[in-house]
Chain A
Amino acid sequence: MSSSTEVNTFANDELTVGKWFGNVWTAIRTVIKGMMITFKYVYGVKPVTIEYPEVREELPKNSRSRLFNDVENCISCYQCATACPVDCIYITAVKRDKDAPALKTKSGTPIKLDLLQYTIDTALCCYCGLCTTVCPTECLTHTTDYEFAQYTLDEMKYDYLAEDVKAWRERIVK
Protein backbone atom coordinates (compact mmCIF):
# COMPACT_ATOMS: atom_id res chain seq x y z
CA MET A 1 0.00 0.00 0.00
CA SER A 2 1.79 3.02 -1.28
CA SER A 3 -0.43 5.62 0.32
CA SER A 4 -0.02 4.25 3.84
CA THR A 5 3.11 6.31 4.38
CA GLU A 6 1.25 9.59 4.04
CA VAL A 7 0.96 11.63 7.18
CA ASN A 8 -2.44 12.78 8.20
CA THR A 9 -2.29 16.54 7.98
CA PHE A 10 -5.50 17.11 9.88
CA ALA A 11 -3.72 16.98 13.21
CA ASN A 12 -1.20 19.69 12.46
CA ASP A 13 -2.02 23.02 13.98
CA GLU A 14 -0.88 25.26 11.16
CA LEU A 15 -2.96 25.04 8.04
CA THR A 16 -1.22 26.65 5.12
CA VAL A 17 -2.75 27.18 1.71
CA GLY A 18 -0.58 24.43 0.27
CA LYS A 19 -1.70 21.99 2.91
CA TRP A 20 -5.31 22.92 2.36
CA PHE A 21 -5.07 22.14 -1.32
CA GLY A 22 -3.10 19.01 -0.50
CA ASN A 23 -5.91 17.84 1.74
CA VAL A 24 -8.50 18.51 -0.94
CA TRP A 25 -6.42 16.62 -3.49
CA THR A 26 -5.97 13.59 -1.17
CA ALA A 27 -9.67 13.57 -0.44
CA ILE A 28 -10.58 13.63 -4.12
CA ARG A 29 -8.00 10.98 -4.99
CA THR A 30 -9.01 8.54 -2.24
CA VAL A 31 -12.70 8.99 -2.92
CA ILE A 32 -12.17 8.31 -6.63
CA LYS A 33 -10.19 5.18 -5.71
CA GLY A 34 -13.05 4.03 -3.49
CA MET A 35 -15.65 4.81 -6.12
CA MET A 36 -13.74 2.71 -8.65
CA ILE A 37 -13.92 -0.27 -6.30
CA THR A 38 -17.61 0.36 -5.81
CA PHE A 39 -18.26 0.54 -9.55
CA LYS A 40 -16.45 -2.75 -10.01
CA TYR A 41 -18.97 -4.26 -7.62
CA VAL A 42 -21.90 -2.73 -9.44
CA TYR A 43 -21.14 -4.46 -12.74
CA GLY A 44 -18.61 -7.16 -11.87
CA VAL A 45 -20.11 -9.09 -9.00
CA LYS A 46 -23.09 -11.38 -9.19
CA PRO A 47 -25.83 -10.71 -6.66
CA VAL A 48 -25.64 -13.02 -3.64
CA THR A 49 -29.08 -12.33 -2.24
CA ILE A 50 -32.12 -14.41 -3.12
CA GLU A 51 -35.71 -13.26 -3.51
CA TYR A 52 -36.98 -15.04 -0.48
CA PRO A 53 -40.61 -16.07 -0.70
CA GLU A 54 -40.23 -17.06 -4.36
CA VAL A 55 -36.80 -18.64 -4.02
CA ARG A 56 -36.24 -20.73 -0.92
CA GLU A 57 -32.82 -21.65 0.30
CA GLU A 58 -32.06 -25.31 0.82
CA LEU A 59 -30.27 -25.69 4.14
CA PRO A 60 -27.31 -28.06 4.55
CA LYS A 61 -28.19 -31.60 5.61
CA ASN A 62 -27.08 -31.39 9.22
CA SER A 63 -28.60 -27.98 9.75
CA ARG A 64 -30.20 -27.72 13.16
CA SER A 65 -33.73 -26.48 12.73
CA ARG A 66 -37.18 -27.60 13.87
CA LEU A 67 -37.09 -30.71 16.05
CA PHE A 68 -38.99 -33.83 15.13
CA ASN A 69 -39.50 -36.90 17.24
CA ASP A 70 -40.58 -40.08 15.55
CA VAL A 71 -42.61 -41.44 18.47
CA GLU A 72 -42.88 -44.91 16.96
CA ASN A 73 -39.16 -45.42 17.42
CA CYS A 74 -38.91 -43.69 20.80
CA ILE A 75 -38.04 -45.92 23.76
CA SER A 76 -38.71 -43.22 26.43
CA CYS A 77 -35.20 -43.28 27.84
CA TYR A 78 -35.36 -39.64 29.03
CA GLN A 79 -31.82 -39.00 27.83
CA CYS A 80 -32.87 -36.05 25.69
CA ALA A 81 -34.73 -34.46 28.60
CA THR A 82 -31.70 -34.91 30.86
CA ALA A 83 -29.29 -33.46 28.32
CA CYS A 84 -31.46 -30.45 27.49
CA PRO A 85 -29.86 -27.36 29.03
CA VAL A 86 -33.08 -25.33 28.98
CA ASP A 87 -35.45 -28.09 30.19
CA CYS A 88 -37.91 -27.79 27.34
CA ILE A 89 -38.61 -31.50 26.75
CA TYR A 90 -41.44 -33.07 28.75
CA ILE A 91 -41.89 -36.83 28.71
CA THR A 92 -44.21 -39.15 30.58
CA ALA A 93 -44.38 -42.84 29.90
CA VAL A 94 -46.18 -45.87 31.25
CA LYS A 95 -44.81 -49.39 31.48
CA ARG A 96 -46.12 -51.71 28.77
CA ASP A 97 -48.27 -54.61 29.75
CA LYS A 98 -46.48 -57.93 29.71
CA ASP A 99 -49.37 -59.44 27.74
CA ALA A 100 -49.34 -56.76 25.05
CA PRO A 101 -47.64 -57.63 21.75
CA ALA A 102 -43.92 -56.92 21.80
CA LEU A 103 -42.85 -53.78 19.96
CA LYS A 104 -39.48 -53.00 18.49
CA THR A 105 -37.90 -49.93 17.01
CA LYS A 106 -36.48 -49.78 13.51
CA SER A 107 -33.04 -50.73 14.81
CA GLY A 108 -34.40 -53.61 16.88
CA THR A 109 -34.41 -52.14 20.38
CA PRO A 110 -37.41 -53.47 22.34
CA ILE A 111 -39.87 -50.79 23.46
CA LYS A 112 -40.73 -51.33 27.11
CA LEU A 113 -42.46 -48.05 27.84
CA ASP A 114 -45.43 -46.47 26.13
CA LEU A 115 -45.31 -42.71 25.68
CA LEU A 116 -48.11 -40.74 27.29
CA GLN A 117 -46.64 -37.32 26.68
CA TYR A 118 -43.85 -36.13 24.47
CA THR A 119 -43.89 -32.37 24.27
CA ILE A 120 -41.17 -29.96 23.25
CA ASP A 121 -41.65 -26.28 23.82
CA THR A 122 -39.84 -24.92 20.78
CA ALA A 123 -40.23 -21.40 22.09
CA LEU A 124 -37.77 -22.33 24.85
CA CYS A 125 -35.58 -24.54 22.69
CA CYS A 126 -32.12 -23.13 22.00
CA TYR A 127 -31.36 -25.46 19.07
CA CYS A 128 -28.08 -26.60 20.59
CA GLY A 129 -28.49 -30.15 19.31
CA LEU A 130 -27.49 -31.87 22.55
CA CYS A 131 -30.74 -33.87 22.71
CA THR A 132 -30.35 -35.34 19.24
CA THR A 133 -26.79 -36.53 19.84
CA VAL A 134 -27.66 -38.53 22.96
CA CYS A 135 -30.72 -40.18 21.41
CA PRO A 136 -29.93 -43.95 21.28
CA THR A 137 -32.48 -44.85 18.59
CA GLU A 138 -31.98 -41.64 16.59
CA CYS A 139 -35.68 -40.94 16.57
CA LEU A 140 -35.26 -37.35 17.74
CA THR A 141 -33.78 -35.34 14.89
CA HIS A 142 -33.36 -31.81 13.73
CA THR A 143 -35.16 -31.27 10.46
CA THR A 144 -34.22 -28.60 7.96
CA ASP A 145 -37.58 -26.79 8.18
CA TYR A 146 -37.01 -23.19 9.04
CA GLU A 147 -40.40 -21.57 8.52
CA PHE A 148 -42.37 -22.16 11.68
CA ALA A 149 -43.30 -18.78 13.05
CA GLN A 150 -46.53 -18.74 15.06
CA TYR A 151 -48.88 -16.14 16.45
CA THR A 152 -49.03 -17.42 20.01
CA LEU A 153 -46.58 -19.10 22.34
CA ASP A 154 -48.88 -22.09 22.81
CA GLU A 155 -48.65 -22.94 19.15
CA MET A 156 -44.89 -23.26 19.52
CA LYS A 157 -45.42 -26.21 21.82
CA TYR A 158 -45.28 -29.40 19.79
CA ASP A 159 -47.05 -32.42 21.11
CA TYR A 160 -45.49 -35.19 19.05
CA LEU A 161 -48.29 -37.61 19.94
CA ALA A 162 -50.86 -35.36 18.29
CA GLU A 163 -52.10 -36.45 14.90
CA ASP A 164 -51.20 -33.28 13.00
CA VAL A 165 -47.58 -33.40 14.13
CA LYS A 166 -47.39 -37.13 13.46
CA ALA A 167 -48.40 -36.34 9.91
CA TRP A 168 -44.96 -34.82 9.25
CA ARG A 169 -43.51 -38.28 9.60
CA GLU A 170 -44.15 -39.27 6.01
CA ARG A 171 -42.13 -36.32 4.83
CA ILE A 172 -39.24 -36.61 7.30
CA VAL A 173 -38.69 -40.28 8.12
CA LYS A 174 -37.30 -42.09 5.11
Chain B
Amino acid sequence: MHKEIVEFLNKEVAGCGASTTEVEVGDASVVVNAESIKPVCFALRDSSEFQFNVLQVVSGVDYEDRIEVHYILASFTKNLELILKVKLPKAGKDEMVKVESVCDVWKSADFQERETYDMLGVEFIGHPDMRRILCPEDWEGFPLRKDYVVQEVYQGMEVNPAHKINQGDFDFMAKAKLDAQNPKLISGSWAGHVSPELSDALKRKMESLEK
Protein backbone atom coordinates (compact mmCIF):
# COMPACT_ATOMS: atom_id res chain seq x y z
CA MET B 1 0.00 0.00 0.00
CA HIS B 2 2.81 2.40 0.88
CA LYS B 3 4.38 2.12 -2.57
CA GLU B 4 1.10 3.00 -4.24
CA ILE B 5 0.72 6.00 -1.98
CA VAL B 6 4.24 7.17 -2.79
CA GLU B 7 3.57 6.79 -6.51
CA PHE B 8 0.29 8.63 -6.18
CA LEU B 9 1.81 11.46 -4.18
CA ASN B 10 4.78 11.96 -6.50
CA LYS B 11 2.38 12.16 -9.43
CA GLU B 12 -0.17 14.41 -7.74
CA VAL B 13 1.98 16.85 -5.75
CA ALA B 14 5.04 18.04 -7.63
CA GLY B 15 8.20 18.18 -5.54
CA CYS B 16 6.82 16.51 -2.45
CA GLY B 17 9.63 13.95 -2.56
CA ALA B 18 7.62 11.13 -1.03
CA SER B 19 9.53 8.00 -0.11
CA THR B 20 9.02 4.89 1.95
CA THR B 21 11.22 2.18 3.37
CA GLU B 22 10.56 -1.47 3.99
CA VAL B 23 10.49 -2.44 7.65
CA GLU B 24 10.89 -5.81 9.32
CA VAL B 25 8.86 -5.14 12.45
CA GLY B 26 6.01 -2.76 12.98
CA ASP B 27 4.54 -0.32 10.51
CA ALA B 28 6.12 1.35 7.52
CA SER B 29 5.76 5.08 6.97
CA VAL B 30 5.83 7.62 4.17
CA VAL B 31 8.19 10.58 4.41
CA VAL B 32 7.47 13.78 2.51
CA ASN B 33 9.14 17.18 2.26
CA ALA B 34 8.08 19.59 4.98
CA GLU B 35 7.18 22.34 2.50
CA SER B 36 4.56 20.30 0.72
CA ILE B 37 2.75 18.78 3.72
CA LYS B 38 -0.48 20.72 3.18
CA PRO B 39 -0.96 19.86 -0.51
CA VAL B 40 -0.05 16.27 0.30
CA CYS B 41 -2.73 16.12 2.98
CA PHE B 42 -5.29 17.68 0.65
CA ALA B 43 -4.38 15.18 -2.07
CA LEU B 44 -4.66 12.21 0.29
CA ARG B 45 -7.99 13.34 1.68
CA ASP B 46 -9.57 14.08 -1.68
CA SER B 47 -8.21 11.12 -3.61
CA SER B 48 -10.90 8.66 -4.58
CA GLU B 49 -8.43 5.81 -4.22
CA PHE B 50 -7.47 6.31 -0.58
CA GLN B 51 -9.98 8.73 0.98
CA PHE B 52 -8.07 9.48 4.17
CA ASN B 53 -10.99 11.23 5.76
CA VAL B 54 -9.79 11.20 9.38
CA LEU B 55 -6.68 12.65 10.93
CA GLN B 56 -5.99 10.57 14.00
CA VAL B 57 -2.77 11.92 15.41
CA VAL B 58 -0.37 14.79 14.99
CA SER B 59 2.62 14.06 17.13
CA GLY B 60 6.34 14.39 17.06
CA VAL B 61 9.51 12.65 18.01
CA ASP B 62 12.65 14.44 19.07
CA TYR B 63 15.88 13.03 17.66
CA GLU B 64 19.39 14.37 18.06
CA ASP B 65 19.51 16.39 14.87
CA ARG B 66 15.89 16.70 13.86
CA ILE B 67 12.31 16.71 15.00
CA GLU B 68 9.99 14.41 13.12
CA VAL B 69 6.36 15.38 12.97
CA HIS B 70 4.07 12.41 12.45
CA TYR B 71 0.63 12.61 10.94
CA ILE B 72 -1.36 9.43 11.33
CA LEU B 73 -4.22 9.32 8.87
CA ALA B 74 -7.01 6.81 8.66
CA SER B 75 -9.66 6.11 6.14
CA PHE B 76 -12.94 4.93 7.61
CA THR B 77 -14.42 4.29 4.20
CA LYS B 78 -11.51 2.33 2.70
CA ASN B 79 -10.25 0.93 6.01
CA LEU B 80 -6.66 2.17 5.63
CA GLU B 81 -4.16 3.71 7.96
CA LEU B 82 -0.98 5.62 7.18
CA ILE B 83 1.89 7.16 9.09
CA LEU B 84 3.03 10.28 7.30
CA LYS B 85 6.22 11.98 8.40
CA VAL B 86 8.04 15.22 7.84
CA LYS B 87 11.57 15.82 9.06
CA LEU B 88 12.46 19.24 10.44
CA PRO B 89 16.08 20.11 11.23
CA LYS B 90 16.53 21.27 14.81
CA ALA B 91 18.07 24.66 15.48
CA GLY B 92 18.92 24.44 19.17
CA LYS B 93 17.56 23.98 22.66
CA ASP B 94 14.10 25.53 23.00
CA GLU B 95 14.24 26.84 19.44
CA MET B 96 10.99 26.50 17.53
CA VAL B 97 10.86 24.46 14.36
CA LYS B 98 8.27 25.44 11.81
CA VAL B 99 5.90 23.59 9.54
CA GLU B 100 2.66 24.49 7.80
CA SER B 101 -0.58 23.76 9.63
CA VAL B 102 -3.13 21.30 8.25
CA CYS B 103 -6.06 22.81 10.14
CA ASP B 104 -7.84 23.59 6.87
CA VAL B 105 -7.76 19.96 5.85
CA TRP B 106 -9.09 18.38 9.03
CA LYS B 107 -10.52 20.29 11.96
CA SER B 108 -9.16 17.71 14.38
CA ALA B 109 -5.70 19.06 13.61
CA ASP B 110 -6.54 22.10 15.75
CA PHE B 111 -6.07 20.50 19.18
CA GLN B 112 -3.54 17.95 17.99
CA GLU B 113 -1.23 20.62 16.62
CA ARG B 114 -1.59 22.67 19.76
CA GLU B 115 -0.51 19.65 21.76
CA THR B 116 2.51 19.11 19.54
CA TYR B 117 3.39 22.78 19.89
CA ASP B 118 3.08 22.53 23.65
CA MET B 119 5.03 19.33 24.09
CA LEU B 120 7.69 19.55 21.38
CA GLY B 121 7.95 23.16 20.30
CA VAL B 122 6.80 22.78 16.73
CA GLU B 123 5.16 25.92 15.42
CA PHE B 124 2.42 25.34 12.92
CA ILE B 125 2.20 28.26 10.51
CA GLY B 126 -1.34 29.24 9.73
CA HIS B 127 -2.87 27.68 12.83
CA PRO B 128 -5.75 29.88 14.06
CA ASP B 129 -4.99 29.67 17.77
CA MET B 130 -1.41 28.66 18.54
CA ARG B 131 -1.38 28.45 22.34
CA ARG B 132 -0.20 25.93 24.87
CA ILE B 133 -2.92 23.42 25.66
CA LEU B 134 -1.82 21.00 28.37
CA CYS B 135 0.83 23.01 30.17
CA PRO B 136 0.10 26.43 31.69
CA GLU B 137 0.60 29.46 29.45
CA ASP B 138 3.76 30.59 31.27
CA TRP B 139 5.49 27.22 31.36
CA GLU B 140 9.05 27.17 30.06
CA GLY B 141 10.51 24.58 27.75
CA PHE B 142 9.00 21.71 25.83
CA PRO B 143 8.61 18.60 27.99
CA LEU B 144 8.86 15.91 25.35
CA ARG B 145 12.19 17.09 23.97
CA LYS B 146 15.00 14.86 25.10
CA ASP B 147 17.10 17.74 26.44
CA TYR B 148 14.25 19.14 28.54
CA VAL B 149 15.04 20.14 32.11
CA VAL B 150 12.26 21.07 34.52
CA GLN B 151 12.39 24.67 35.63
CA GLU B 152 13.48 25.06 39.24
CA VAL B 153 10.97 27.67 40.33
CA TYR B 154 7.53 28.11 38.88
CA GLN B 155 5.45 31.09 40.06
CA GLY B 156 7.39 31.29 43.29
CA MET B 157 6.94 27.59 44.02
CA GLU B 158 9.90 25.29 44.18
CA VAL B 159 9.54 22.41 41.74
CA ASN B 160 10.62 19.07 43.24
CA PRO B 161 11.63 20.22 46.74
CA ALA B 162 14.04 17.88 48.56
CA HIS B 163 11.55 16.67 51.16
CA LYS B 164 9.09 15.59 48.50
CA ILE B 165 11.57 13.47 46.59
CA ASN B 166 12.86 11.84 49.82
CA GLN B 167 16.42 13.11 49.51
CA GLY B 168 17.20 11.73 52.96
CA ASP B 169 16.40 8.19 51.86
CA PHE B 170 18.42 8.55 48.69
CA ASP B 171 21.38 9.78 50.74
CA PHE B 172 21.18 6.94 53.25
CA MET B 173 23.58 4.75 51.34
CA ALA B 174 26.14 7.50 50.83
CA LYS B 175 26.04 8.34 54.54
CA ALA B 176 26.44 4.69 55.49
CA LYS B 177 29.41 4.43 53.17
CA LEU B 178 31.00 7.51 54.71
CA ASP B 179 30.59 6.09 58.19
CA ALA B 180 31.76 2.58 57.38
CA GLN B 181 35.32 1.39 57.58
CA ASN B 182 35.15 -0.44 54.31
CA PRO B 183 32.62 1.34 52.08
CA LYS B 184 32.98 -1.28 49.34
CA LEU B 185 30.89 -3.71 51.37
CA ILE B 186 27.87 -1.45 51.26
CA SER B 187 25.55 -1.36 48.31
CA GLY B 188 22.22 0.32 47.66
CA SER B 189 19.39 0.64 45.23
CA TRP B 190 19.63 4.30 44.21
CA ALA B 191 23.22 5.23 43.47
CA GLY B 192 22.30 7.97 41.01
CA HIS B 193 20.18 10.24 43.21
CA VAL B 194 22.71 11.21 45.89
CA SER B 195 22.99 14.91 46.75
CA PRO B 196 26.16 16.51 45.30
CA GLU B 197 27.99 17.41 48.53
CA LEU B 198 27.68 13.87 49.85
CA SER B 199 28.82 12.30 46.61
CA ASP B 200 31.85 14.62 46.57
CA ALA B 201 32.75 13.62 50.12
CA LEU B 202 32.29 9.98 49.20
CA LYS B 203 34.52 10.35 46.16
CA ARG B 204 37.27 11.89 48.32
CA LYS B 205 36.98 9.04 50.81
CA MET B 206 37.19 6.41 48.11
CA GLU B 207 40.26 8.08 46.63
CA SER B 208 41.99 8.26 50.02
CA LEU B 209 41.24 4.57 50.59
CA GLU B 210 42.81 3.61 47.30
CA LYS B 211 46.00 5.37 48.28
Direct contact of A and B (CB under 8 A): yes
Report the stretch among A4-12, A41-49, A88-96, A138-146 that lies at the interface: A88-96
Q: Is the CB of A121 within 8 A of B187?
A: no
Q: Is the CB of A93 within 8 A of B166?
A: no
Within B75-106, which residues are at the interface with A (CB < 8 Å)?
Answer: none
Q: Is the CB of A94 within 8 A of B169?
A: no
Report the stretch among B1-9, B19-27, B119-127, B172-180 that lies at the interface: B172-180
Q: Which partner residue on chain B sits nearest A117 by CB separation?
A: B172
Of A88, A89, A92, A119, which contacts B187 at CB under 8 A? A92
The residues of A that contact B170 with a CB separation of less than 8 Å are: 90
B209 within 8 A of A: no
B15 within 8 A of A: no
In whole angstroms, how far apart are the Cα atoms of A78 and B176 in the complex? 17
A113 within 8 A of B: yes
A116 within 8 A of B: yes
A94-B166 contact in complex given A81-B190, A113-B187, A116-B186, C-beta closer than 8 Å: no
The residues of B that contact A124 with a CB separation of less than 8 Å are: 166
B185 within 8 A of A: yes
The residues of A that contact B172 with a CB separation of less than 8 Å are: 90, 92, 116-117, 119
Within B152-180, which residues are at the interface with A (CB < 8 Å)?
Answer: 166, 169-170, 172-173, 176, 180
A97 to chain B, nearest CB (A): 9
The residues of B that contact A87 with a CB separation of less than 8 Å are: 190
B188 within 8 A of A: yes
Q: Is the CB of A121 within 8 A of B173?
A: no
Q: Is the CB of A117 within 8 A of B169?
A: yes
What string of 1s and 0s marks CB contacts (under 8 Å) between A74-114 and chain B? 00101001100001111111110000000000000000010
A90-B190 contact in complex given A117-B172, A119-B169, C-beta closer than 8 Å: yes
Of B176, B189, B190, which contacts A94 at CB under 8 A? B176
Q: Which partner residue on chain A sits nearest B190 by CB separation?
A: A90
In whole angstroms, how far apart are the Cα atoms of A87 and B165 in the complex? 10
B168 to chain A, nearest CB (A): 9
In whole angstroms, how far apart are the Cα atoms of A113 and B185 in the complex? 9
In whole angstroms, how far apart are the Cα atoms of A90 and B172 in the complex? 9
Of B173, B180, B185, which contacts A117 at CB under 8 A? B173
Task: Report which residue of A76, A87, A92, A94 has the largest number of chain B beta carbons within 10 angstroms of its beta carbon.
Answer: A92
The residues of B that contact A119 with a CB separation of less than 8 Å are: 169, 172
In whole angstroms, how far apart are the Cα atoms of A88 and B166 in the complex? 9
Q: Is the CB of B166 within 8 A of A91?
A: no
Chain B interfacial positions (CB closer than 8 Å to A):
166, 169-170, 172-173, 176, 180, 185-190
19 contacts between A and B (CB under 8 A): A76-B187, A81-B189, A82-B189, A89-B189, A90-B166, A90-B189, A90-B190, A92-B176, A92-B189, A93-B186, A93-B187, A93-B188, A94-B185, A94-B186, A94-B187, A95-B186, A117-B173, A117-B188, A157-B166
Chain A interfacial positions (CB closer than 8 Å to B):
76, 78, 81-82, 87-95, 113, 116-117, 119, 121, 124, 157
Q: What are the 4 tightest A-B residue pairs by CB atom distance, in nearest-first order?
A: A81-B189, A90-B169, A95-B185, A92-B188
